[in-house]
Amino acid sequence: MNVFESPGGHAWSLAIHGGAGGRVEELGVQGDGEYEQGLADAHRVGARVLEDGGSALDAVCAAVAALEDNPLFNAGRGSALRRDGSIETDAAVMFGGRAGAVAALGSARNPVAVARRIMEDHAAVLRTGVTEEAVRSWGLETADTDYFLTPGRIAQLDNVQAGRIPAQTHGTVGAVAMDRNGRLAAATSTGGMVNQVPGRIGDTPLVGAGTYARDGVVAVSCTGSGEAFIQGVVAHEIAARVRHAGADLADAVRDVLHEEVGGRGVTGGIIAVGADGRVVVAHNSPAMFAATGRGADVTVWS
Ligand code: ASP
């Protein structure tokens, strides 16, 4: 397991991730640095919001939207394909004790924006069956199938179905932030697991499993084999250990990843920001795409 911890004490903090699945060979990325550039760019987008005094909510939504727009990552454009070759996306956001989430979404360009809209709408916390018309009526952008579907992801599904690469192939994007007012936010967005069965919903849109934020405690965004994160209620379990048992944040992240994810024989990664702005990035997978820091001092993992 790899665990990174950065000290808190700054005016704001931001960490983002691009999934724990590693590089997708079928996407045909030739040169080095494309994944790293995508992560650095998305981090910069969120960091600018926080630097300018914007909210943690605005920052995580902006960073996640940038990753959704980048076809290298499994969310929004370039999402992984389900068993029948279709794409459905899931996303969640949490801020200020409230959450919004969407599952099995069809045509919204930025699922995280839909999750935020659901949070702000008060009619529900988690919605499915959100139509293209509903997305448009909220003033959010829609896109057709060709926008989301990339040749690399089609080839990836072929390879999984032919048994040429492992079935448990994953990826997801997320962000956690503490703003200048000490408020915490988390957002996560995904196309789910490659070749997933119709109707499967992973941990990403389930508040407390893949996404959780509580002011004064922690904000968490997860990636990996979703069933383990759901059954271990991983994001909330980390918060509970910090809040009720006074656990050190890095210990809580490490132990929960070890017990609830590793203990179920699967892999994943977690990013978390504590109430003091401390950032923890941990994964038991071979790789994890992530970025944290500020200004010229941004660390990118790939
Ligand atoms: N956790 C996501 C899901 O289970 C996939 C991933 O993070 O790789 O849908």
Distance 191 CA to ligand 1 centre (A): 8
Name the closest-CA residue to atom 4, ligand 1: 226
Measured CA to CA, the distance from residue 287 to residue 302 in angstroms comes to: 6
Substitution site in 190, 212, 270 for ligand 1 pocket (most atoms within 8 Å of beta carbon) = 190
Distance from chain centroid for Cα 267:
15
CATH for 219: 3.60.20.30
Measured CA to CA, the distance from residue 230 to residue 214 in angstroms comes to: 18
| Number of domains making up the chain | 1
Tens of pLDDT, residue by residue over 62-117, are: 999 999 999 999 999 999 999 999 999 999 999 999 999 999 999 999 999 999 99
Would you say 267 and 22 are in contact if contact means Cβ atoms under 8 Å apart? no
Return the pLDDT at 165.
85
With a pLDDT cut of 70, the percent of the chain lying above it is: 98
With a pLDDT cut of 90, the percent of the chain lying above it is: 88
Token digits of residue 186 = 């988390």
Would you say 206 and 115 are in contact if contact means Cβ atoms under 8 Å apart? no
Q: What would the mean pLDDT of 44-57 be, rounded to a whole number?
A: 98
What are the beta bridge partners of residue 126? Answer: 101
Tens of pLDDT, residue by residue over 169-224, are: 678 999 999 999 999 999 999 999 999 998 999 999 999 999 999 999 999 999 99
Name the catalytic one among 89, 150, 172, 190: 172
Return the pLDDT at 128.
97
Would you say 203 and 226 are in contact if contact means Cβ atoms under 8 Å apart? yes
Give the range of the structural domain holding residue 148, as residue numbers without chain letter: 2-301
Name the closest-CA residue to atom 5, ligand 1: 192
Q: Does ligand 1 lie within 6 Å of residue 21's CB atom?
A: yes
Q: Does ligand 1 lie within 6 Å of residue 192's CB atom?
A: yes
